[in-house]
Amino acid sequence: MKLHPLDSLRVALPSLSPRLQEAARHIAGNRYDAVTRSMRDMASATGITPATFTRLARAIGYSGWDDLRDAIVEAERANATAPFSSRLQKAARHKRQGQPASEAEIAADMLLADTAGIQQLDPFSIASAAKQLMDAPRIWLAGFRSCRAIAQTLHYQLRLFRPEDVRLIGAEAPEDLDFGALRETDTLVLISFAPYSRSIAETARIAQSVGCRIIALTDTAAAPIAEGAHHLLLFDPTQGPGFFPSLTGAFAIAHALVSTAFALGGEGSFQRLQETEKRLLTLSTFVSPSDSTQ
């Protein structure tokens, strides 16, 4: 599957010169400018020379800036969505004759926003990342603070059919000891959204320096954990009206990622899952429906 040009920029970032990195970060964080403004306009606004944008395009395999810009325009057109109608509907609900929304309306709006967010997730990116998981000899997972639960969910589900080679950063030892165990052949799933914790930023930095294959599950291509990532899985934690960011999209990606990885594993994954289930049954891990409580 051909990478989105902005994904190509992100993957190439760690190997670029500081000046090219500056230009790449500007494009990744301001994709609207990249498709609507001329190279000279962007150069004037950013202080980055036009020649730098040309060199950046060539560094990631394009003939020049115009070629890269055309590729971004085409990719953005293919991924276009129409979120404005749902926002208008939500605004209308909260303007009913100047009355504040009821508790039920707020809950309904949150559920609608989460549903809309799930519908915007990219199944093709998830499928590509799932293949990377199944090809990896060893998988690491990293999520801190509110994202810890997502990492733990992935850890539990993946170990049901890959029990020996899935590890959670910081689960059994201090994080820095796990950093020392990372290898170039490992695949690392990083999970975070703004504001990004120091722990996840440091995990990303170490993994990049080691050369791990990185899957970033985050809120924007401009996130620090997205730099150098081979797969970018985006979700929007701020789409709903709730006070707290919504992790529904992130959990949906995690479940889809594991389900796809399991399917790609074929008969081998199925046999290992059966072995795990037999072991859990032997250990009487779960309560039987026939058990009574006193």
Judge if 210 and 265 occupy the same domain: yes
| Domain harbouring 167, CATH code | 3.40.50.10490
Helices 248-282 + 123-135 axis angle, to 10: 40
293: amino acid identity, one letter: T
Q: State whether 228 and 128 are in the same domain.
A: yes
Pairwise CA distance, residues 209 & 74, whole Å: 32
The pLDDT value recorded for residue 198 is 86
Question: For position 91, what pLDDT does the model report?
Answer: 44
Sign of CA dihedral 265, 267, 272, 276: positive
Q: Count how many domains the chain has.
A: 2
Nearest to 132 by CA among 1, 267, 282, 278: 1
Q: Is 38 contained in some domain?
A: yes
Which residues are registered as beta bridge partners of 214? Answer: 188
Distance CA 84, CA 18 (A): 37
Percent of residues, the chain, with pLDDT higher than 70? 83
Q: How confident is the model at residue 101 (pLDDT cuts 50, 70, 90)?
A: low
User: 63 and 141: one domain?
Assistant: no
The confidence score (pLDDT) of residue 285 equals 66
Residue 53, domain extent: 5-76
How many angstroms separate the CA atoms of 57 and 249, rounded?
Answer: 32
Specify whether 257 is located in the same domain as 155: yes
Please, is 241 exposed, middle or buried when counting C-beta atoms within 10 Å of its C-beta (0-12, 13-18, 19+)? middle
Residue 85 has pLDDT above 80, yes or no: no
Whether residue 183 is found in the same domain as residue 59: no
φ/ψ bin of 47: left (φ > 0), alpha (ψ from -120 to 50), beta (otherwise):
left
In a domain, 116, yes or no: no
CA 158 to chain centre: 17
Domain assignment present for residue 31? The answer is yes
Q: Are 260 and 126 in contact (CB under 8 A)?
A: yes
The Cα angle at residue 226 between residues 221 and 229, in degrees rounded to 5:
125
Which of the residue ranges 67-81, 244-258, 272-286 would you say has the lowest mean pLDDT? 67-81
Q: How far apart are CA 270 and CA 134, in angstroms?
A: 13
The CATH number assigned to the domain holding 42 equals: 1.10.10.10
